[in-house]
Amino acid sequence: MLKWEVAESFGENKPLKFISDGMLGKLTRWLRMLGHNVKYSNKLDDTQLIIIAKKERRILLTRDFELYQQAIAKGVDTFYLEGKTEEEKLAELARRFNIKLEIDMTTSRCPKCNTRVNLVPKERIAKKVEKSTFAHYGEFWQCPKCGQVYWQGAHWKRIRKTLQEAKEISEKPSQDKK
Ligand SMILES: [Zn+2]
């Protein structure tokens, strides 16, 4: 049942709910930035991951084949990631779940704590960023939960590059097609 419900939502590029295993901290941050709701803690064991995934109807993401098999046997929607780099992993997810590899700040979540970020009046963050940053950029977002401030600074180039590379990988014809 759950399988069908999740599968139907893939076509719409709407935010998805995931839970990722302790090895996927980096990927978790990417997915949150892309607007998806991702629960993550490296303190959860396999049993807890499966219970939470089931209870909260989250798709379990894992690099652990044993956990993958266990979760499938318990009827949890699970995706096994094979990619080595972040780009490869993002590409796999984009293909499987029809995820758009572009950051939309209106739906973006705090990579640290999974809360939706808000566009904030510049004045409000004046004391929170370096003077040069404040002078140079016009738009700032803040996480209402942890207070972290975000802006599309020099590091944004790298972010775009990673996403562009992931996009290119995801558009290549799949190798495991039979
Ligand atoms: Zn936060």
Instruction: Please give the structure tokens belonging to residue 99.
Output: 């995820």
The pLDDT score that the predictor gives to residue 172 is 87
Rounded distance from Cα 100 to ligand 1 centre (Å): 22
How confident is the model over 91-131, as pLDDT tens digits? 999 999 999 999 999 999 999 999 999 999 999 999 999 99
Whether 11 has a pLDDT exceeding 60, the answer reads: no
Rounded distance from Cα 15 to ligand 1 centre (Å): 18
The boundaries of the domain holding residue 62 are: 2-102
Q: What is the CATH number of the domain that holds 24?
A: 3.40.50
The pLDDT score that the predictor gives to residue 178 is 43
Rounded distance from Cα 110 to ligand 1 centre (Å): 5
The pLDDT score that the predictor gives to residue 14 is 78
Rounded distance from Cα 142 to ligand 1 centre (Å): 8
Rounded distance from Cα 172 to ligand 1 centre (Å): 34
Q: Is 20 contained in some domain?
A: yes
Q: Is 85 contained in some domain?
A: yes
Rounded distance from Cα 116 to ligand 1 centre (Å): 8
Hey, what long-range contacts does 66-70 have (CB within 8 A, 24 or more apart)?
67/21, 70/46
Counting the structural domains of the chain, the total is 1
The rounded mean pLDDT for the chain is 92
